[in-house]
Amino acid sequence: MPKKFIKKYMPEHHTIRNHKHLKVFGRLLHDGNLWHFNRRSVSGAFAVGLFCAFIPLPLQMVFAAAFAILSRVNLPISVSLVWITNPITMPPIFYTAYKVGAFVLGQEAMSSDYKLTAEWFTEQLHLIWQPLLLGCLICGTISAFIAYTTIRLLWRLHIIRHIKERRLRRKSPSKS
């Protein structure tokens, strides 16, 4: 994967270190491994970020930062990826996770004919929390695994292509 492309869209180190919710981690944010762009760090960051995106709680960024620090993967990527579940995408993502959890538990999922509001959610939480949490765990784990293996594969293919191109350049006579 091209490092320049990834770095272009990532926030600066000081922005992450000075974030009000991430100051909890203090000196742990100075670990150099949290800022590297290599195959292990980026693929792990995708796995952490996507798994945390499926946590149906506020402050997903803090969970992503904690898991990134514990697993020593790229912190900015992990924290940024939780925004896949933003206010626009949250209802369909969590409804799909709820349906997955209901299916696995053998329950019948509620239809999507209702109007999804905060009041409805708080009233129905006692009925939907088990399938929702199970579905989020399943979907988070599957998406983390797929992201991890896909990034590792794409990165490896990019390196192989780069090595082949370099070999071809060395074999061909220079045009001077």
Look at residue 66 and tell me whether its pLDDT is greater than 70.
yes
Residue at 56 is within a domain: yes
pTM: 0.77
Residue 111 has a pLDDT of: 72
Q: How far is CA 152 from CA 5, 99, 139, 148, in A?
A: 16, 30, 20, 6
Lowest mean pLDDT: which of 54-63, 69-78, 115-124, 137-146? 115-124
Query: For the chain, how long is the longest CA-to-CA vector?
Result: 76
Residue 31 has a pLDDT of: 72
Residue at 66 is within a domain: yes
Residue at 150 is within a domain: yes
How many CA atoms lie within 13 Å of 32's alpha carbon, on the beta-carbon side? 1
Split into its structural domains, the chain has a count of 1
pLDDT mean across residues, the chain: 84
Those residues whose C-beta lies under 8 Å from the C-beta of residue 96, and which sit 6 or more positions away, are: 135, 139
Q: Structural domain of residue 98, as residue ranges?
A: 3-171
Residue at 176 is within a domain: no
What does the pLDDT look like over 1-26, one tens digit per residue?
456 666 666 666 666 667 776 667 77
Residue at 140 is within a domain: yes
Per the CB < 8 A criterion, the answer to whether 109 and 131 are in contact is yes
Angle between helices 118-171 and 39-53 (to 10 degrees): 160
Say how far apart CA 79 and CA 53 lie, in whole Å. Answer: 9
Look at residue 151 and tell me whether its pLDDT is greater than 80.
yes
Residue 125 has a pLDDT of: 77
